[in-house]
Amino acid sequence: MGEAPIYQENVLCIMPFDKPTNVLDDIYDKYPLIKFKFIYQSFIPGLSWAMSQVDVSNEDYQKATILVTATTLPRNPNLVPNLKFIHFISAGIDHITNSPIYTNSDIKLTTSSGIHGPQIAEWVIMQLLAFNHHEKQLLAFQRQHHWGKADDVWNVRDYVGQRLGVLGYGSIGRQTASVCKALGMDIVAYTASPRTTSESKRDSSHIIPGTGDVDGTLPSAWYSGLDKASLHNFLEQNIDVLLVALPLTDRTWHFLGKEEFEILGKRNAFIVNIARGSIIVQDDLIAALKKKRGGLRGAALDVTDPEPLNHDSELWDMDNVAITPHNSGSGSSYAERSFRVLEKNLMNLELGMPLLNEVHRKRGY
């Protein structure tokens, strides 16, 4: 047995979860001199990813060499002179891109990308199956104590042979593709940059063992580009179900609107959005969902624009729409999985290796 490494960090954690004790025990075993300080920050009820205000002392910020956070950041980079990197418990960082830490510092930023695949893929499958099997109608029968007639819900189309288009083939898209492939679906993938080699198709983010599409071999075809022509070429590939799994950036804001829904409407496609609401032009989506011919057959939305969704939005009462409160990524393993990414990056930091899931500021994710 070798000696434990002489390695010390002061990790300040500001987050809405209990301490992930199993991961912390593993970290303490490897790095007995490491110190954690936890400050609990609660969610504001009814507001997706909105957090209560917390007081963080200047002394805590000055001591910190690593910051783990959801939304809270020092108002001035000068308050964190010893900070080596910030680990976000979310996969997206669009909520902090206007902060001084993002715009006026070169502090390294990492995300929890890779931890959401299993739970979000299960949410997606739940929505797809519920829609095709008329779950809303069946639940209405149960509430009414009514034994519905078979012909009320007879028209069930399974997903064998249908095509899933994954707009943003990251960890979430890959795990969803894996499960949909098991249902007999064909997969086509779309990424910002071309993936023409085996190495470029590999998943380089954090991977939960046994999940995803590590080698990128599931798609029967791969498309790329952030211009309209490239996007339209992808959408014209006979897509039956479109999964929106893109990060929100200046380039993807309102990425899907009237023109895109007209293309998808030719196939009477179903839209699933687990990314960010403002990737979609919401009024255009509503119009496409209401069209009797050449429109969308339905949508499952875990995100909307704005959040929470306006009380009087038409989306609430549309029979072909399912809405959930930005919770598809929630799970009992969330904090543990996020801290597993942190654990890997503690080792990478010690060894002088690149950090996992590091944000590229110019790219926006």
Residue 234 counted as domain residue? yes
Residue 361 counted as domain residue? no
Give me the residue label for tokens 């390294």: 108
Are 106 and 195 within one domain? no
The answer to whether residue 2 scores a pLDDT higher than 60 is no
Are 243 and 152 in contact by the 8 Å Cβ rule? The answer is no
Task: Report the CATH number that the domain containing residue 130 is assigned in CATH.
Answer: 3.40.50.720
Residue 357 counted as domain residue? no
The answer to whether residue 168 scores a pLDDT higher than 70 is yes
Q: Could you give the CA distance from residue 231 to residue 71 in angstroms, rounded to a whole number?
A: 32
- What would the pLDDT profile of 224-258 be if each residue is shown by its tens digit? 999 999 999 999 999 999 999 999 999 999 999 99
Are 183 and 218 within one domain? yes
Are 64 and 35 in contact by the 8 Å Cβ rule? The answer is no
Are 74 and 201 within one domain? no
The answer to whether residue 331 scores a pLDDT higher than 50 is yes
Are 26 and 129 within one domain? no
Are 206 and 78 within one domain? no
Are 121 and 254 within one domain? yes
Q: State the chain's mean pLDDT as an integer.
A: 94
Residue 134 counted as domain residue? yes
Are 126 and 108 within one domain? no
Are 90 and 111 in contact by the 8 Å Cβ rule? The answer is yes
- For residue 52, name the pLDDT band (cuts at 50, 70, 90): confident
Residue 358 counted as domain residue? no
Are 157 and 247 within one domain? yes
Question: Could you tell me how many residues make up the chain?
Answer: 365
pLDDT on residue 154: 84
Q: Can you tell me whether residue 87 is helix, strand or coil? A: strand
Are 196 and 319 within one domain? yes
Are 44 and 174 within one domain? no
The verdict on whether omega for the bond into residue 308 sits within 30 degrees of 0, i.e. cis, is: yes
Two tokens, residue 272: 């699933």
Q: Could you give the CA distance from residue 90 to residue 113 in angstroms, rounded to a whole number?
A: 7
Q: What is the reported pTM?
A: 0.93
Using alpha carbons, list the distances in angstroms from residue 364 to 195, 201, 225.
19, 20, 16
**How many domains, the chain?**
2
pLDDT on residue 51: 80
Residue 362 counted as domain residue? no
Are 256 and 141 within one domain? yes
Residue 356 counted as domain residue? no
- What would the pLDDT profile of 175-190 be if each residue is shown by its tens digit? 999 999 999 999 999 9
In which domain, by residue range, is 79 found? 10-115+331-351
The answer to whether residue 50 scores a pLDDT higher than 80 is no
The answer to whether residue 6 scores a pLDDT higher than 80 is no
Residue 193 counted as domain residue? yes
What mean pLDDT comes out for the span 315-340? 96
Final residue of a structural domain among 286, 305, 323: 323
Rg (CA), the chain: 22
- What would the pLDDT profile of 63-108 be if each residue is shown by its tens digit? 999 999 999 999 999 999 999 999 999 999 999 999 999 999 999 9
Are 68 and 93 within one domain? yes
